[in-house]
Chains A and B, each alone.
Chain A
Amino acid sequence: SAVISQKPSRDICQRGTSLTIQCQVDSQVTMMFWYRQQPGQSLTLIATANQGSEATYESGFVIDKFPISRPNLTFSTLTVSNMSPEDSSIYLCSAGPGLANEQFFGPGTRLTVL
């Protein structure tokens, strides 16, 4: 299995600012993903982070708002740009696939936008 760490674990930000979240995996993985979990809700896939190329975004998410980098097979960043209170969520990084085709999840970043 892969162990995933995220930084920061939580943050409180002001409207209009940007926050970059880092995701580090302890081994090389093929796929890395970013999810958003709004308060009391399920997880929604934001994008697939592709190593060496532009991320693949899901419907409703755009690169200008959520730029993603993946410079190598163990690291990715997600930036939440020009934040508004509606961006207050938990942002989770995942990686895979594992032997059972599962994805391993990081601990998440709890973001509050005032």
Chain B
Amino acid sequence: AQKVTQAQTEISVVEKEDVTLDCVYETRDTTYYLFWYKQPPSGELVFLIRRNSFDEQNEISGRYSWNFQKSTSSFNFTITASQVVDSAVYFCALIKGGYNKLIFGAGTRLAVHP
């Protein structure tokens, strides 16, 4: 069975703080894809990043960075110097290789205060 766990329900930070959102996944498949999506108050899901199971290289995009570690089945997301516009619900998700069904975690609500 596949499962995605985001243990942090809500995080509250002050602007310019760094914040890490945790994601732990379970799968028996050797080929899979991991995703992060952002859901701002408007409700639309915005795709942020995809990682496949064969690529453990970490990635940085501006203030965003992702740490993928197969040894701990984790795919954590760090926002550096957070801004109020980062306030949203962030979802980690998993797709089994060869399939298209997205398995979502429960989401982490991030509130960034001025």
Where the two chains meet, the residues of A that have a C-beta atom closer than 8 Å to any C-beta of B are 1, 31, 33, 41-45, 48, 58, 90, 92, 94, 96-98, 100-108, 110
Which chain B residues in 67-114 approach chain A with CB under 8 Å? 91, 95, 100-102, 104-107
| CB under 8 Å from chain A, chain B span 40-78 | 42-47, 50, 52
Number of residues in B with C-beta < 8 Å to the partner? Answer: 20
Q: Are B107 and A42 neighbours in the complex by a CB distance under 8 Å?
A: yes
Which residues in B have some Cβ–Cβ distance to A below 8 Å?
Answer: 33, 35, 37, 42-47, 50, 52, 91, 95, 100-102, 104-107
Instruction: Report whether A102 and B47 are in contact in the complex, using a CB–CB cutoff of 8 Å.
Output: yes
The answer, among A41, A98, A103, for a CB contact under 8 Å with B102, is: A103
Contact (Cβ within 8 A) A92 B45: yes
Decide: B106 and A100 in contact? CB cutoff 8 A: no
With A42-B91, A43-B91, A108-B43 already in contact, the answer to whether A101 and B106 are too (CB < 8 A) is no
